[in-house]
Structures are given as C-alpha cells and as structure tokens.
Amino acid sequence: MTHQPRWALTGIYFIIALLVGVVLGSVVQTQFNLAALQALGVEISPGQRIATTLHDLTSFAPLYAVLFAVGFVVSQAVAVLLSGWLGGRCLALLCTGGAAVGLWATLWLVNTLAPPPTLIAATRGVVGFVAMLATAGVAGWLFAWLRKRMANAKRPRGFSGMAIVWGVGSLAAALGVGQQAEAQEVEESQAEGAYQIETLAEGLAHPWSLAFLPDGRMLVTERLGRLRLLSAEGDTLEASLGGVPEVFASGQAGLFDVRLSPRFEDDRQLYLSYACGNELANHTCLAKGTLEDNGLEDVSEIFRAQPAKQGAAHFGGRLAWLPDGTLVLTLGDGFDYREQAQQLESHIGSLVRLNPDGSVPDDNPFVNRDDARPAIYSYGHRNVQGLVFDADNNRLIAHEHGPRGGDELNVIEAGANYGWPIATGGLDYTGSRVTPFEDYPGTEPPALEWTPSIAPSGMALYSGDLFPEWQGDLLVGALVNKEVRRVRLSEDASIAEDVEGLFGELGERIRDVRQGPEGAIYLLTDSPEGRLLRVMPTHSSAISN
C-alpha cells in the first residue's frame, strides 16, 4: 500500500487544525456578542442564536481565517522547529502556547494599525479575549496531536513549510477569501450644471465645523485644536484664536463644533465641543467663552460626558439650539463601549440637553430618575455627527454612523431609545452581526437607513431662495461617498427619501455643510489641506431673486 508523503499529510493536518481554530473562534465571538446583548435584557431565542452563529460562520469566518492564519503559520512552524531541537519533546505544549501567542500578536498588531480601537468585539473584555486565545490553543494542540499520530505511524520524518503555505492557500480558496468589493455606482446629480463651486479658503487642517458671525466673518474649527477666523471672502484674519480649551487630538478626537449663542450680538458668547483628556481617559466636553478681537475670554468648561473612556473614536460633538434656549450636544459610543448606549447611568451613546450655563433643564425626560444621568435627552445612539432643528415643523433631526451599513436618519423625541446596539441594519466591520435584530420592541426605527454606509457628517436644512428646488430638504455630507446627499422628509417625519447626490465632482470627503446668510451652501472638506467652498447658482437670475 502506497502511503501519502509526509509533507502532504502535514498540509492536510494543518488545514484541519486551522479550520477548527477558525470555526471555534467564530462561534466563540458570536456567543460573547450575544451575551453582551443579553446582559442588557435582550431576549434571544435559540433559533436566533443559531441563525446568528451560522451567519457569522459565512461572513466573519473568512476575515478571521486570514487573521488567524498569519499567526498560526508562524507559531506552528516555530513550535515544530523548537520541538525538533528538543529531540521531539514538548510538541503539544509548544504548538498550543504558540498558537495562542500568535493570535495575541496578530490581534495586537491589527488593533494598533486599524482605525477601530478593537476589531473583534468579543475581545473587548478580558474573558472574551482569553476565550479567543483558548480557541487558538485548541487548534495548536490538535495540530500537534495529528503530527504525533503521523510520527507514530513511522512515516518519513521531516517538516515542510511549503505544505503549510499550500494549506493556507487551500483554506482561503475554500472560504472565499479575496472576494472583490462591490463597486458602488455614484449617482449623477440631477442639479449638475445648476450651480458653481468656488474655493474661499485652502490649507485648513481637517476642518470640522463652520459658523457665521453677524458681520459676515466666519469661524472654522480645525480638529487639531485651532479656531480660525476668516473674513467674509475667506481670507484668514486669525489663524488660531487664543483661549481655545486644551484639546485631546488623536484619531477622531479633537476640536469639533462651534455654535454662537442665540443672543450673540448682546453677549458675544460662543460654544465649543471637543475631546478632552488623553488616550487612556477621555471625554466629550463642552465649553463656552466670550469672543473678543483676538481670541476667547472667560472660557469655562460647562459639561463633561461621563464616564471616561479609552481610545480615540466616536465622540459625537454636534450642537444645536432648541427654540426654548436649551442646547443639545451629541455624544458617541466610544466604539468599544457600545452597550453603554443602552445604560442611562452613562452619557456614552446619547444626546444631552443643557441650559446655556451647562445646568440640566428641569423638564429633561430622565431628570427625576435616580438610575439615569439627568442631562440625557435620548439614547441608543452610535456616533451622532449631524444635528439640525427644523423650526418650521418643530422637530429635531439627527443622523448617526452605523458600522458596515446601518447609517441612520432619526427624528429625535425626548426620552426615546434609538436602538444601538440592540437593533441595527449594519454589520460589524468584521462582517459579524452586532445583533440579530434590525428592529426591537421599545426602540425607534430610523426614518432613513443607508446600507452600504455613506458615513454621514455635517448636515444642513436648506431654507434659502438661491436653490428653491431644495427648500425644506436636508443636505447631508457623506465622507465615504465624497458628496452631499439631498434628503426629503415626509410631512409626518416617519420616512425620508434619499433624493440625489450633489457635488460628487469634487471627489473630496465632505465634513460639514452649512447654509450661509445669503442662502449659498458652504462646504468643508476633510483633509490635512482642507478647503472651505461656497456653492452658488450658475444663473445670475437665481442669484438676484
């Protein structure tokens, strides 16, 4: 009887062990994600658990296979070589420990280099992290046990790294790794040719927000912590106004929104939202100050989101005034803290409503509850970066980033739960399900959902006369699509229609969208050399109306 060569058996055993590690890892991460939801009181049936687990085996496992294989190839090769150097001893121990260390090193590298703080959600906690490493250890032990069986069968000795490479290639092919990304078709703007775009200012370092002063001058925040003063023509009058609070600038953290007091001409006060603290303990903060000729004076912090969090992602930071003189500030979930968006004892993942001095209004929805932060106005949000108040229809409108898909446009009601992370139409960045539910009892469905994600940013409600066909529509910046989406809400605000894409010819990430005093549209582009742009009609007759 002809035996298979040792290198072929090594490759087969390696594939078996690798597949076991990938399947176990996928199953474990799913169960930890579901357990986090159950800890919030979410009911998950056995059928939903099985369906979610199977989904993740087809959508999460291919990506995880690539990550897992990197450390597994290296660790098992090193383990076999060390065992050989030790005379064939300790193979099981070396393969088991090596596989766990290999996965740990891979996850550390990915979390260090990738934009999200923690790529695989199940590894956010110590128990989940150790459980994932344990699945790698099982795969390593299995590989050692299979090799030992082969050795006991007295087949030719030797080790072939090529077999492992071949095995990984076969696994990748089996799992469908390397599928081409779906190309997104960019919709042609119906209004193309009806406007002209001019550059007012250049060289802005990741500009984030724009505000107009009564005399026509403009304030622009730059994420690194600068508040720039521009003339009405876009010339820089002050590259960096003094008195801006100290900002934690890293990743998505930095200086965010700027809003004038509703009584600015009398009190000269403005409000700034920003990230404060450091990488290990940071918050979204709100400060107010008085604008003088060369900077801010009497600056004071009036709100700080609690508790502190780690990382530099998902701060929210948009501001909007309500007709009663209260101020709404949006907050993010910190990426790794998504379950706290459902916990009223935490500001994380909520919208807060404040008085101009930072105190809490007496009529906030949770002000009389001992188990809630009294400033919370709504909760269940992921990362809200667009906020406007529609005075004509008396409604507060917000949008928020989903993960892979599931960007939402919501009409905000006091005390309402907007679902994250219990209900979402998006998947995690790894392809795994965040939750089995796209809607869930007690949570508010979005008026509009974008899947695939457009990464919504600044938002304006257009009410000017220069573009009459856009009156009453929302203009939503889209970072991924590199355009502005025009959105129309129904009269009862129950649904919204994404009408068209605008300004896509720029090919730039749009960070903020504002309507100017004259009815023109102003855009900020997000880059190290960002621009302030003004959009005007091309027809002189439209400008004069």
Q: Which of 283, 314, 399, 401 is catalytic?
A: 314
Contact between 393 and 472 (Cβ < 8 Å): no
Sign for the pseudo-dihedral over CA of 205, 206, 208, 214 = positive
Query: Concatenated DSSP letters for 251-287?
Result: TTBSEEEEEE-TTHHHH-EEEEEEEEE-SSSEEEEEE
Distance CA 227, CA 145 (A): 63
Of 213, 281, 401, residue with least CA distance to 227: 213
* Parallel, antiparallel or unpaired: strands 483-489 and 207-212: unpaired
Give me the phi and psi of 47, to 5 degrees please: -65, -40
Q: CB count, 10 Å around CB of 191? A: 18
Specify whether 399 is catalytic. no
Distance CA 339, CA 321 (A): 28
Distance CA 130, CA 241 (A): 48
Contact between 375 and 360 (Cβ < 8 Å): yes
* Residue 135 structure tokens: 């699945």
Those residues with Cβ within 8 angstroms of residue 491's Cβ, 6 or more apart along the chain or in another chain: 393
Q: Beta-strand (E) ranges in 124-242? A: 195-204, 207-212, 218-222, 226-230, 236-238
Sign for the pseudo-dihedral over CA of 493, 499, 502, 508 = positive
Distance CA 140, CA 94 (A): 8
Helices 6-38 and 46-59: angle between axes, nearest 10 degrees: 140
* Parallel, antiparallel or unpaired: strands 195-204 and 496-502: unpaired
Query: Concatenated DSSP letters for 200-216?
Result: EEEEESSEEEEEE-TTS
Give me the phi and psi of 277, to 5 degrees please: 105, -140
Catalytic residues: 314
